[in-house]
């Protein structure tokens, strides 16, 4: 079996917590209302 | 794998029905893969962050509008959105290329003022003044041709017409002027380089 010479552990990459929180808040704030086949986006903050 | 896909589909359905918690689970489950994918293309944490955010904004809007129709293929769908946004990013940068000073790369190693700096300009002026003095040592006929050719930028045809000699004579005088000028420079051990 091939030896692993690299001692460095590959660091897993994640987005910032703020980004994820922003997305969750955006999702909570977003409302889609439909009127006569037209969709309206409302950000309720 | 089967189970995850089923779970994703279930979570998407639950999110569309209004359960916000499902989105949180979906993001937490896939954030690593999606973010790593974006980063592997753009190699910039901030840009990757922006594209990750835009990807999920698209996901949220599509799901809330009820336009999602890829049941059971949530992750490939999100990856496709991320992929398209990465392409958009590169297209935008191609139209408007920008250089950023990051790490050991310095933009001023590529861009520079093409003009001479103050010191080199002084040296250049000095050399030009020295040469003007040196050519005064040349015989009159050679000096005349050299001045017309170099300083007045005249052609040899014009020089021959002005001095009343043939073109070949003018060419010969120019040649001897340069040879003599080199001799003078060597004799005085002058260094006329910038």
* Tally of structural domains, chain A: 1
User: Does B81 reside within a domain?
Assistant: yes
The yes-or-no verdict on residue B6 having pLDDT over 60 is no
The yes-or-no verdict on residue B78 having pLDDT over 60 is yes
Question: Is A29 at the interface with chain B, CB within 8 A?
Answer: no
User: Does B192 reside within a domain?
Assistant: no
Return mean pLDDT, chain B.
85
- Per CB-CB distance under 8 Å, the chain B contacts of A29 are none
pLDDT category at B130 given cuts 50, 70, 90 is: confident
- B65 contacts A30? CB cut-off 8 A: no
User: Does B75 reside within a domain?
Assistant: yes
Q: Are residues B15 and B43 in the same domain?
A: yes
Pairwise CA distance, residues B57 & A27, whole Å: 8
Pairwise CA distance, residues B34 & B53, whole Å: 11
For the segment B129-141, the average pLDDT, to the nearest whole number, is 87
Residue (of B24, B28, B22) closest to B9 by Cα position: B22
For the segment B76-95, the average pLDDT, to the nearest whole number, is 90
Nearest CA-CA distance, residue A17 and chain B, Å: 10
State which residue of chain A sits closest to B50, comparing Cα positions. A19
The yes-or-no verdict on residue B1 having pLDDT over 60 is no
Q: Are residues B92 and B45 in the same domain?
A: yes
- Residue B69: predicted pLDDT: 81
- B31 contacts A15? CB cut-off 8 A: yes
Query: Two tokens at B19?
Result: 């359960």
Nearest CA-CA distance, residue B20 and chain A, Å: 7
Pairs from B59-62 (Cβ < 8 Å, separation ≥ 24): B60/A23, B60/A26, B60/A27, B60/A30, B60/B23, B61/A30, B61/A41
State which residue of chain A sits closest to B15, comparing Cα positions. A27
For the domain that residue B171 is a member of, what is the CATH number? 1.10.10.10
Tens of pLDDT, residue by residue over B140-180, are 999 999 999 988 999 999 999 999 999 999 999 999 999 99
Tens of pLDDT, residue by residue over B10-62, are 899 899 988 999 999 999 999 999 999 999 999 889 999 999 999 999 999 99
- B53 contacts A22? CB cut-off 8 A: yes
Tens of pLDDT, residue by residue over A1-45, are 667 676 666 678 899 999 999 999 999 999 888 888 888 888 876
Domain of residue B93, residue span: 2-100
- Residue B77: predicted pLDDT: 92
Q: What ipTM did this prediction achieve?
A: 0.79
Q: Are residues B27 and B96 in the same domain?
A: yes
User: Does B82 reside within a domain?
Assistant: yes
Q: Are residues B42 and B122 in the same domain?
A: no
pLDDT category at B124 given cuts 50, 70, 90 is: confident
Domain of residue A18, residue span: 14-45
């Amino acid at each position: 079996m091939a030896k692993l010479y690299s001692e460095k552990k590959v660091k897993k990459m994640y987005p910032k917590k703020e980004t994820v929180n922003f997305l969750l808040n955006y999702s909570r704030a977003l409302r889609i209302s439909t009127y006569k086949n037209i969709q309206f986006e409302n950000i309720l903050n | 794998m089967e189970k995850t896909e089923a779970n994703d589909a279930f979570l998407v359905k639950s999110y569309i029905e209004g359960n916000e918690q499902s989105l949180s689970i979906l993001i937490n489950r896939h954030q690593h893969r999606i973010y790593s994918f974006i980063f592997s293309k753009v190699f910039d944490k901030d840009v990757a962050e922006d594209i990750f955010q835009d990807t999920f904004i698209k996901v949220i809007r599509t799901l809330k509008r009820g336009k999602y129709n890829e049941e059971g293929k949530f992750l490939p769908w999100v990856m496709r959105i991320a992929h398209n946004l990465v392409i958009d990013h590169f297209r935008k940068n191609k139209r408007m290329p920008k250089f950023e000073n990051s790490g050991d790369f310095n933009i001023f190693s590529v861009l520079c003022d093409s003009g001479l700096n103050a010191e080199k300009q002084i040296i250049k002026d000095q050399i030009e003044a020295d040469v003007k003095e040196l050519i005064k040592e040349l015989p009159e006929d050679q000096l005349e041709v050299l001045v017309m050719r170099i300083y007045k930028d005249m052609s040899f045809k014009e020089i021959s017409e002005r001095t009343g000699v043939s073109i070949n004579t003018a060419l010969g005088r120019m040649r001897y002027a340069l040879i003599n000028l080199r001799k003078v420079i060597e004799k005085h051990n002058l260094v006329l380089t910038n």
